[in-house]
Structure 1
């Protein structure tokens, strides 16, 4: 099997697992969102520590300890992904899976917006058009919901900002997840201890299956991320960008077909506008990548020698 095909399999595996993640979150009831988040953090540390132990890959901690700015950036990344995870769990358990899917649909548009506002990047016309259509979609959905779709916007903003911080850090997936989870582990353990002291913890008190599912949260978090890292190392950015839409499509399907959440006409119109914006964004990205590759190829091709006449 070629590395490219293996990359697509890894990427599809990651996004399919992320797409069906609402089914897993629903199984964790009656645990509340914060308890689920705390277990996700703690067991992620344990699972990734085991992975790193097998790989004998602990040298990065010594190097990281000598980089206080990197530690600060990791703390920011940990806070962002913690808010993202908590919002996602809350959205799923409050029967708003469709809105969580919307958050990951509009995430690419938020990344563009962050590029303009934070990195001072210049956008192409098609990117401005995609942003404009996306803004109109949020306005339509706000009218439909009677409020801002705050779950979707929080998911998109936190994950977009998290991606920006991670891009600057350049940490491998397993190492990054371990350190980020370790930053969140102390407050997570404190919260779980407080729940236990109040006799409100569901861990070990509902059923053996429920306890096992909470423990599995670490693997459920880490495995798709490691698959994604394997895909990112093998696929061109355009291929990875197109694959990313499979996760919210599956989440949307879960919300509509499995959990029977409503999709009134106005909401469908808002989603349709988001999809139009994503089509504009994706087509422009593919064209730009092809033009860049062609320009690079032409630049690398030596010019033919001139023919001189007598």
Structure 2
């Protein structure tokens, strides 16, 4: 299998795992969201530590410790991903899987908004149109829910900010994920110890299957992240961007078809507007990428241009 095909396979498997992740989270009941989050952090550290040990790849740790600014950036990323995980678990276990899917649908548009406000990037008219339509969609869904879709907005904002920080840090995926999880491990262990002291821990007290599922939280979290990193190194960014919608599409289908969450007409209108915004944004992005590639080929010497085709 070629590296390109491997990249597409890795991306597909990663997004499929994320798409069906609500089923796994539901199976962790009756654990409360914060307890699930704490186990997710602790077992992620253990799992990635095992992976790094097998790969004999621990040298990076000493390099990171000697760079306080880099460690500070990793700490910020850790807080953002903890917020994202916590809101996601809360959303799933409060029977709002469809709203969590909405958060990941609008995530790319929030990322564009961050690019404009923080990085001072300029947007093309199509991107502005997509942002405008998405704002109308949020207004429609606010009317439908009777409140702001705060779970969706929190998920989109936290993951977009996390992605921005990660882009600036530019660290290898597994190593960075280990340090992020390790940053959160001490408070997570403290919280789990507090639950044990109060006799409120569910770990080992519900069933053998439930205990095993909690222990597998680290592998379930880290595996799609590492597959995603492998895909990002093998396939074009535009292809990766289009494939990212596999996750929220499957989450949406899971919420509606498996968990039978309601989809009244106004909510359907809101989601339709979101999807319209994403179509405009994606088509514009693909067109721009093709134009840029054509320009690069036109400015290449003829042998290199032929190879690029």
| TM-score with structure 1 setting the length | 0.97
2:204 maps to 1:204? yes
CA distance, structure 2, for counterparts of residue 125 and residue 239 of structure 1: 22
Deviates more, 1:85-94 or 1:169-178: 169-178
**Match in the other structure for 2:27:** 27
Q: Residues 115-165 of structure 1, C-alpha deviation per residue, up to 9 Å, x if partnerless?
A: 000100001111101100111100000011010000000000000000000
Tell me the equivalent position of 1:42.
Answer: 42
- 1: distance between equivalents of 2:135 and 2:31? 35
Deviations 1:5-28 (A, max 9, x none): 111000000000000000000000
CA distance in 2, matches of 1:79, 1:192: 18
- 1:157 maps to 157
**Distance across 2 between alignment mates of 1:29 and 1:278:** 34
1:1-310 equivalences in 2 (<5 Å): 1-301=1-301
Work out the CA distance in 1 between the residues paired with 2:252 and 2:198.
Answer: 37
Runs of 4+ in 1 over 4 A off after TM superposition: none
Which whole-Å CA distance do the structure 2 matches of 1:27 and 1:204 have between them?
Answer: 15
**Counterpart Cα distance in 1 of 2:185 and 2:131:** 37
Q: CA offset at residue 62 of structure 1?
A: 0.7
After superposition, the CA RMSD in angstroms is 0.9
Q: Secondary structure, in 3 states, of the residue corresponding to 1:295?
A: helix
Instruction: Please list every run of 5 or more consecutive structure 2 residues that lacks an aligned counterpart in the other structure.
Output: 304-309
Following the alignment from structure 2 to structure 1, what is the Cα–Cα distance between the partners of residues 158 and 252? 20
**Structure 1, residues 73-108: CA drift from partner, whole Å, max 9, x if none?**
000000000000000000000000000000000000
Q: TM-score, normalised by structure 2?
A: 0.97
Unaligned segments of structure 1, at least 5 residues: 304-310
Paired positions, count: 303
CA positional deviation for 1:212: 0.5
Q: Deviations over 1:205-243 (max 9, x none)?
A: 111111100000000000000110110000101100010
Aligned partners of 1:207, 1:11: CA distance in 2, in Å? 34
User: Partner of 1:106: helix, strand, or coil?
Assistant: helix
**Could you tell me how far apart the structure 1 residues matched to 2:14 and 2:134 are?**
26
Q: What is the Cα deviation at residue 301 of structure 1?
A: 3.0
Alpha-carbon distance between aligned partners in 2 of 1:45 and 1:75, rounded to the nearest angstrom: 15
Q: Deviations over 1:239-286 (max 9, x none)?
A: 000100000000000000000000000000000000000000000000
